[in-house]
Amino acid sequence: MVRAAQYVFVMVCAVMLLTGAALAGDAPSVDLDWYGYLKLDGSYDQNQTSHGNFAMWVNPNSLDEDDAQFNMTANQTRLGVNAKGSGYGEVNLGGKIEFDLYGAVSGASVAENKAILQLRHAYFTIGKGNTQLLVGQSWDLISPLNPSTLNYPVLWGCGNMGYRRPQITAFQSFGSSKSKVTVAAGLFRTIGTDLTPTFSLATGETSDGSDDGTDAAIPSLQGRVDINHTFSSGAAVRVGASGLWGQLRSETNLGNHETYDSWVGSGHLNVSFPAGFGFAGEYYSGSNTGSYFGGILNASTIDGVASAGFWGSAWAKVNSKVSLSAGYGLDDPDDADIASGNRSENACFFGNVKYNIVPQVTVGFEFSNWETTYKDGDAVSSFRAQTSFVLNF
């Protein structure tokens, strides 16, 4: 981990030097390009799922019969702007800011027709040649692929993991356009909860009320190696590995503390063919992965919650108007690390079809079956049918 931190420091310094060496051409400027889509989702769930408008797991059902639900929302509507610099000589400058409407405050009741703006991305990039620095909020380096689902969470909590967070990340590429290796490493904001230390507390001693990731006073480390190769036939392969390590610190109001870790190791594979079909998948194993959408989002513990998961999907573009996608995901925390009643396994099969009515307007239909098992309890399942209408711009 020390070497990873040194690598990031060297890369940051290198990019700063490259920036200073830029040759001024035309008057420097930054151009903005707006993009986004308007989306309406309607969904039927056989039983109550985690979030209603979208599904990550099935909630426990104490009834003797199904508890069907219907939801309709425009909250996945998305708006963003790409920034691109020009006139900076050999230095490349870019950036992105992006929002959707899933910004509800945790625990708060938000009316369905009064959605709250959510920041997804806010970063800029600067670099030269095959060296690049990204600063701001963007995707984690771990588990970089996502399946193609209409359901808003792309199997998060069900074998897929990795989210977005503030970071400083350096990228270095080697090779040609047909065969390239990219190495990336970065410093990331550690986001946790406020755990109570496991040792016996003194009278009046409680947890300090601060996020344990902040209390650790150091960022998390993430890294990734990607290999991309395009064959003469036009087929392309992307394969790689990624990982993270972060330290958290549980403190009390009397100054006592206990440290604990979160870590992940992950592999990914994506294969596409020029005929318009392909497949992809990822596998991960780690501990205290809830804030990275692993472990079915079970809360971290000081002793650690071990979990492993995977997902796989295949897709095909039938013609210029019709595309298909199907897949499966599974997340499996270690039962020995979780309390009775917590989510102990989560699985999902999905399949969807998308049809372009006219250019930029798509209607989609997705069917999925979810099954969530609870420790010392029963497995609960739910069939989900979803339709989406999208206008891209």
The string of pLDDT tens digits covering residues 332-380 is 999 999 999 999 999 999 999 999 999 999 999 999 999 999 999 999 9
What range defines the domain where residue 164 resides?
36-71+133-198+206-392
Is 239 part of a structural domain of the chain?
A: yes
Q: Which tens digits make up the pLDDT trace of 294-316?
A: 999 999 999 999 999 999 999 99
Query: What integer pLDDT is reported at residue 109 of this predicted model?
Result: 76
Instruction: Say whether pLDDT at 5 is over 80.
Output: no
Q: Tokens standing for 141?
A: 């380096």
pTM of the shown model: 0.90
Please count the structural domains in the chain. 1
Q: Tokens standing for 107?
A: 């625990």
Is 86 part of a structural domain of the chain?
A: no
Cα–Cα distance, 53 to 70 (Å, whole number): 9
With b for 16 or more beta-carbon neighbours within 10 A and e for fewer, the 274-307 pattern comes to eeeebbbbbbbbbbbbbbbbbbbbbebbbebbbb
Q: Which tens digits make up the pLDDT trace of 119-137?
A: 999 999 999 999 999 999 9
3 state SS of 337: helix
Which one, of 185, 171, 293, 295, lies nearest residue 242 by Cα? 185
Which one, of 250, 240, 247, lies nearest residue 206 by Cα? 250
Calculate what percentage of the chain has a pLDDT beyond 90. Answer: 89
Grade residue 237 by pLDDT with cuts at 50, 70 and 90: very high
Per the CB < 8 A criterion, the answer to whether 163 and 175 are in contact is no
| CATH classification at residue 313 | 2.40.160
Cα–Cα distance, 105 to 113 (Å, whole number): 15
Cα–Cα distance, 173 to 183 (Å, whole number): 6
Grade residue 107 by pLDDT with cuts at 50, 70 and 90: low
Cα–Cα distance, 56 to 266 (Å, whole number): 20
Query: What integer pLDDT is reported at residue 110 of this predicted model?
Result: 83
Cα–Cα distance, 41 to 149 (Å, whole number): 12
Cα–Cα distance, 249 to 216 (Å, whole number): 5
Distances (CA, A) of 222 to 89, 118, 256, 265: 31, 24, 28, 10
Is 147 part of a structural domain of the chain?
A: yes
Specify which residues 136 forms β-bridges with: 123, 167
- Collect all residues with Cβ–Cβ distance below 8 Å to 336 and sequence separation of at least 6: none
Is 119 part of a structural domain of the chain?
A: no
3 state SS of 261: strand
- Collect all residues with Cβ–Cβ distance below 8 Å to 162 and sequence separation of at least 6: 139, 140, 141, 142, 143, 144, 266, 292, 293
Is 146 part of a structural domain of the chain?
A: yes
Is 57 part of a structural domain of the chain?
A: yes
Is 278 part of a structural domain of the chain?
A: yes
Average pLDDT score, the chain: 93
Cα–Cα distance, 389 to 295 (Å, whole number): 31
Cα–Cα distance, 266 to 161 (Å, whole number): 9
- Collect all residues with Cβ–Cβ distance below 8 Å to 130 and sequence separation of at least 6: 172, 173, 174
Strands 379-392 and 78-86: unpaired
Instruction: Say whether pLDDT at 12 is over 70.
Output: no
> CA 324: distance to chain centroid?
22
- Collect all residues with Cβ–Cβ distance below 8 Å to 332 and sequence separation of at least 6: 307, 308, 309, 344, 345, 346
Q: Which tens digits make up the pLDDT trace of 196-208?
A: 999 999 999 999 9
Cα–Cα distance, 131 to 13 (Å, whole number): 11
